[in-house]
Amino acid sequence: MIYLDSENLLRENKKLKEKLKIVLEQNKRFKNDLKYAQKIQEYILPIGKHEFNQYEIYCNHVHTNYLGGDFYDVFKFDDRKIVMYIADVSGHGVASSLFTLFLKQSIRGISNSFHLNRQPITPSEILRKLQCRFNDFNTDKELYIGVLVGVLDIYDNEIILANAGHNVEPLHFKKKENEVISYDIRGFPINNWFDDNTFFTLYDEKKIYLNEEDRLIFLTDGATEAKSIDGKILGIKKIGELMKQKESGMCEEYFESLINMIINHIGKNELEDDIALLCLRRKKD
């Protein structure tokens, strides 16, 4: 048995306390850095309402961590077309949040190149070029991005959608028919799973006509997969039913109602994943 006298024990204890102090200081700095990074991420997320002629687009989110992988953006391409998307980067934390910056910069840059070259913009072409940019990163195969992109023509009242592996179907509330339909638009996520990703870059498109007071909703799976105490997920069907109940409401009111429904559903459970929403509404002409 090794015996340490009281003097040695005091010295060892002092060393441990010093090491612990260093660790705690580093942890404090790391948490502060995360808070600053969160502020930057919040700054680039366009929370609130955006209006383009007879269209209202409302965006909002709820993050469960300091840094999340859910992201969205809305911007004007030209006098008649609006680009919008919602995305979910796999995982959480610093790596995921950094790729939300990559998304914003890349999609806006890709769209700007279409504009400068006077080329027609399509959501499938945005995704194809995004995949090409992602190929330049030597990322882990566990890191991938699901992205649902829409290009809205505010004069033809049509939106074209393309999907790169986003796992929540867009919901369309059709005011005239008083019904909600979902669109199954398939496509591989933005990824580096294989050496040759060229076959991933073909994305189907879905064209949707929007009548007066129609709404189209993009969501992330933090909403659809919210779990109750007994483990039941909320599901896309109940979220669609809420759209019918709030048929005359504004997008902002719908978001508040959705969050309340999720809170009631999970009860004492904690929210396990981020929630992001993008809601498009055509107003009365």
Within this chain, do residues 62 and 40 fall inside the same structural domain, yes or no?
Answer: no
Within this chain, do residues 177 and 239 fall inside the same structural domain, yes or no?
Answer: yes
Inter-residue contact 162 to 186 (CB < 8 Å): no
Within this chain, do residues 14 and 55 fall inside the same structural domain, yes or no?
Answer: no
Within this chain, do residues 59 and 29 fall inside the same structural domain, yes or no?
Answer: no
Within this chain, do residues 40 and 61 fall inside the same structural domain, yes or no?
Answer: no
Inter-residue contact 249 to 20 (CB < 8 Å): no
Task: Output the domain CATH number for residue 175.
Answer: 3.60.40.10
Q: Which residue has the tokens 């504004």?
A: 250
Query: What DSSP line would sit under 103-165, residue for residue?
Result: HHHHHHHHHHHHHHTTPPP-HHHHHHHHHHHHTTS---TT--EEEEEEEEETTTTEEEEEEES
Burial 6-34 (b: 16+ CB within 10 A, else e): eeeeeeeeeeeeeeeeeeeeeeeeeeeeb
Within this chain, do residues 99 and 198 fall inside the same structural domain, yes or no?
Answer: yes
pLDDT of 26 above 60:
yes
Inter-residue contact 94 to 30 (CB < 8 Å): no
Within this chain, do residues 37 and 97 fall inside the same structural domain, yes or no?
Answer: no
Within this chain, do residues 147 and 51 fall inside the same structural domain, yes or no?
Answer: yes
Within this chain, do residues 8 and 113 fall inside the same structural domain, yes or no?
Answer: no
User: What pLDDT shows up at residue 34?
Assistant: 57
Within this chain, do residues 34 and 54 fall inside the same structural domain, yes or no?
Answer: no
Report strand pairing: 215-219 vs 205-209. Answer: unpaired
Choose between 48 and 127: higher pLDDT.
127
Within this chain, do residues 70 and 188 fall inside the same structural domain, yes or no?
Answer: yes
**Number of structural domains the chain divides into:** 2
pLDDT per position as a tens digit, 208-245: 999 999 999 999 999 999 999 999 999 999 999 998 88
User: What pLDDT shows up at residue 97?
Assistant: 73
User: What pLDDT shows up at residue 100?
Assistant: 82
pLDDT per position as a tens digit, 28-81: 665 655 565 566 666 667 788 999 999 999 999 987 765 667 899 999 999 999
**Residue 205 β-bridge partners:** 162
Domain that holds residue 274: 46-282
List the one residue out of 75, 72, 71 whose CA is nearest residue 121: 75
> How many angstroms separate the CA atoms of 75 and 19, rounded?
49
Within this chain, do residues 239 and 256 fall inside the same structural domain, yes or no?
Answer: yes
Q: In the chain, what percentage of residues exceed pLDDT 90?
A: 59
Compute the half-sphere exposure of residue 219: CA atoms within 13 Å on the CB side of its CA: 29
Inter-residue contact 157 to 282 (CB < 8 Å): yes
Q: Which residue has the tokens 């306390």?
A: 17
